[in-house]
Structure 1
Amino acid sequence: MKTFNFFSQLHVFGCHVAGPGSSVMPTNRTSPVTTEHSTTLAMQGNIDCYDRRPRSFTAQRGEYWVLYNYIVAQRQFRCWESVTYTTHADFTFLDNLEPLLDRWRGPISLALHAPGTDFNTTLWTIRYLRDCGTQPVADLVTFHFYFPSKHLPKAIPKSSTIFDTKYNCSIPPPWTNTTTYKSQKKLLYPVNVGRNIAREMASTHYVLASDIELYPSPGVIGDFLEMIRRQEGPLRHKNPKVFPLSIFELEASMNLPNDKTELVAMLRNGTAIPFHKKVCPGCHNVPHSKEWLNANTTQAGLRVFHIGKRTGYFVHWEPIYIGTHADPLYDERLSWEGKSDKMTQGYVLCVLDYEFQILDNAFLVHKPGIKTLKKDPARAIAAGKTNSLIRKTIFPELKILYGTKKGCAV
């Protein structure tokens, strides 16, 4: 196994960081962690947050059983000293974890859908990543497992015994097996259950709730916390706020860009395009995107480039952003197959008058390979059912719970 001297490269960001003034709930509805102000606000960098120490426990969540903090990262962070990348997957997507860690270099909270026999394959995949990989998976990644109550695994080992058995690194990783229990049983992928589990379990105040195939530009954590420390202009606004990162796709043969200068060059020569340009351009059409591309890329660090709203031309925008535990969660009745899984949460953000403070030098790139629109009759049926559910049930609920606001729509 190759070794990676992570701690020699890890930057710990914790001193003199000022928060944007948004309130933080000291705990959440599942009580996953013990919380406390461990020191003075000055020592916490003036981020008003609570340390959230992970606690391993099993609990029901609707029709799902969840193993919260089933495998806990060896390195833990104070609430103010990093940003947690929160995400979801099944074992077939875990080939993305190493390239993600290579660029993120910070804590990751990962919820894994593992019904039936997929549970054991998922465990072997994590063994492979920890025993055979090049990235500090054991140090930085906390894994949570979830599965439907009707599709439990046959046995669940104690987490303390999982790594007693080592992976044979001479054989291929488990994700090369494309046959899954989920596909055999024709189960839907409960994407928002995973999103919410991963986000609720994050120990840091700031979280980047994203998808595992989206890789961030290097250095985001340090640059973001330094920006927060400066508390310039828009950060002092009283409105609730989140910080979107622009998203892009690359040709399959291309290397990931390391900074905005490289990204812009790829966009101009056609080897990169805006995310979902050929699938759903309106879903990721970012306000002032042309101005963002033409802006000066020589300025180091991050700043707020533009404050966008999810209205008008951008009413169906699905931003991926850095936020906090105070932000609304995602509706867990929605599946990946049914599409529109982030639309209802976007409506709530709009009604609550969130500011989308778009960051200038930070971005996300999808795993290389341009997405194209393909006919999928089964998914079209699922999407129709989802649209009906949103229109007849979820949207009327949201109007009662949050109200309405001109320009806001699902």
Structure 2
Amino acid sequence: MRRIRIGWLMLVVIAIIQLCVLVLESNKLQTVSRKKLKNRRILGGHTVHSSGTYLIQRFFKSEGFPMNSMNPEDITLATHCSVDRLHHLIDIIDAWDGPMSISIYAPGDDAAFAEDAIDGFRLCWPKLRRTTTFHLLYPNDIAMSANMTRVGSFAYYSCKDITRKIYQRSGRMTADSEARGYFSDISRYPHNILRNLAMDGVLTKFALSIDIDLVPNKNLRINFLTFVKNTSTQRKRIYGDSSDSSRKTVYILPAFEVKESSGSRLITKKDILRLVETSEARILLEETCVQCHRSTNYEAWSSTPEDGEVNLGISHEVAFTRGWEPYFISHRDIPRYDENMVRYGYDRLSQICELNARKYTFSVLRSSYLARRSFTTTRNIPKKAKLRSDDISKFHKLFQQRLRQSGKLAETAVTFC
């Protein structure tokens, strides 16, 4: 019995010692954490998002625009990303010479990298100084607020080194982001808040809202502006007025995915059709989400000649179909994205459903398109995307439930989504 008592006593003593060690370690970590937070240089001058969850820096480090550099009748490319995807902007810069509005999700130390990258972009691509605005979004959480302590890491770098640094960030996460799980779950990335933030920065009449890994063909902007000008002139000649018929029309852009090994420059419609013929390009998400873009009617688009005098730049009109989520050019006052839609696949789909309910016209442009440099396969899609690809019926049933909860659409409209 005495041995048993001694054994139990030893176990109690060991447990007490372990508890003391854990308390001491916890206090040590808290002290280190407090010191880290105390030493941070937190970015000020923000506004609070309506949800209270995020802080916003609009027109971050804006240098303004010369009065003669901004045409109010122009089109602005609006896009969004986290800092590990900023390298995609380099491809867009090569293809797009018009205004851009870019929102960046930058929690914690990512904010410092974002500022350095913005300075680097403006140094190496000077045209961005007069055409592009940047907007930051980060959590309203002291541990994840914009930490600018490491700003200046690009100082004295050449443009070659700046470009290399931006590409090196691809696929990486800061220790803060990884520890807090901000990128481990795709729903943590506030897609629609970022899309709306970029759209709020649009100062021109028209906007093209796309994901940052999509690149417009080189002639897209000039083709569209010419089309709009000709349409306005013709309306005035035929109807005696120049009323804005574009306000309730969205101009659909066929979207493709191109093999990374293809080095072809995408300038004209013939360029992408040539790649489709050789199987180096195909409809975007053709393997993982057939309904996402098929309704654009690529067959009709492919058989329509490039822009000419006939039909003033429109290939054909299409009707809304369930699951369709095209990219398009629109008037800047288009209904915004539903920020409560955070589940994968619901974000963009909810907006196109609202446009259909509001009787928008869907017109496919005959010569313009978008392209992504990689094939999406069932092997490389996110886990959250598998629900849509594996059970589309269940996906739409859950989506309709979420639409009803949002209360933005009438029941008759929800049944078509």
Q: Does structure 1 residue 284 correspond to structure 2 residue 293?
A: yes
TM-score (norm 2): 0.73
Q: Name the structure 2 match of 1:215.
A: 215
Within 5 Å, which residues of 2 pair with 1:10-409?
58-61=46-49, 62=51, 63-72=53-62, 74-75=64-65, 77-78=69-70, 80-131=72-123, 133-134=124-125, 136-150=127-141, 151-153=143-145, 155=147, 166-169=155-158, 170=161, 172-177=164-169, 178-180=172-174, 181-187=176-182, 188-231=188-231, 240-254=248-262, 255-297=264-306, 299=308, 303-310=313-320, 314-335=321-342, 338-366=344-372, 368-374=373-379, 379=384, 390-398=399-407, 401-405=408-412, 409=416
Task: Report the alpha carbon displacement of residue 315 of structure 1 after superposing the two structures with TM.
Answer: 1.7
**Hey, what's the Cα distance between the residues in 1 that align with 2:414 and 2:207?**
27
Given the superposition, is the C-alpha separation of residues 355 and 201 from structure 1 closer, same or farther in structure 2, using an over 3 Å criterion? same
Task: Report the alpha carbon displacement of residue 186 of structure 1 after superposing the two structures with TM.
Answer: 1.3
Amino acid at match of 1:179: M
**Hey, what's the Cα distance between the residues in 1 that align with 2:288 and 2:385?**
14
Moved more, 94-103 or 296-305: 296-305
Aligned residue pairs total 343
Task: Report the alpha carbon displacement of residue 163 of structure 1 after superposing the two structures with TM.
Answer: 8.0
Which has the higher Rg, Structure 1 or Structure 2?
A: 2
Task: Report the alpha carbon displacement of residue 404 of structure 1 after superposing the two structures with TM.
Answer: 4.5
- Considering fraction of residues, name the structure with more helix: 2
Task: Report the alpha carbon displacement of residue 294 of structure 1 after superposing the two structures with TM.
Answer: 1.5
Kept in 1: contact 2:82–2:104 (CA 8 A):
yes
Given the superposition, is the C-alpha separation of residues 152 and 323 from structure 1 closer, same or farther in structure 2, using an over 3 Å criterion? same
Task: Report the alpha carbon displacement of residue 153 of structure 1 after superposing the two structures with TM.
Answer: 3.1
**Hey, what's the Cα distance between the residues in 2 that align with 1:195 and 1:99?**
19
Kept in 1: contact 2:84–2:173 (CA 8 A):
no
Task: Report the alpha carbon displacement of residue 389 of structure 1 after superposing the two structures with TM.
Answer: 7.2
Please list every run of 5 or more consecutive structure 1 residues that lacks an aligned counterpart in the other structure.
1-55
Kept in 1: contact 2:208–2:330 (CA 8 A):
yes
Please list every run of 5 or more consecutive structure 2 residues that lacks an aligned counterpart in the other structure.
1-43, 183-187, 236-242
Task: Report the alpha carbon displacement of residue 375 of structure 1 after superposing the two structures with TM.
Answer: 6.8
Kept in 2: contact 1:83–1:204 (CA 8 A):
yes
TM-score (norm 1): 0.74
Provide the aligned C-alpha RMSD in A: 3.3
Amino acid at match of 1:295: T
Task: Report the alpha carbon displacement of residue 143 of structure 1 after superposing the two structures with TM.
Answer: 0.6
Kept in 2: contact 1:260–1:297 (CA 8 A):
yes
1:273-320: CA deviation from partner (whole Å, max 9, x where unpaired): 01111121211113332011122237389611111121xxx3211111
1:182-212: CA deviation from partner (whole Å, max 9, x where unpaired): 3332121111111000001111111001111
**Hey, what's the Cα distance between the residues in 2 that align with 1:350 and 1:395?**
16
1:43-87: CA deviation from partner (whole Å, max 9, x where unpaired): xxxxxxxxxxxxx96311111100011132654554634210001
Moved more, 384-393 or 177-186: 384-393
Kept in 2: contact 1:328–1:345 (CA 8 A):
yes
Given the superposition, is the C-alpha separation of residues 66 and 389 from structure 1 closer, same or farther in structure 2, using an over 3 Å criterion? farther
Given the superposition, is the C-alpha separation of residues 379 and 195 from structure 1 closer, same or farther in structure 2, using an over 3 Å criterion? same
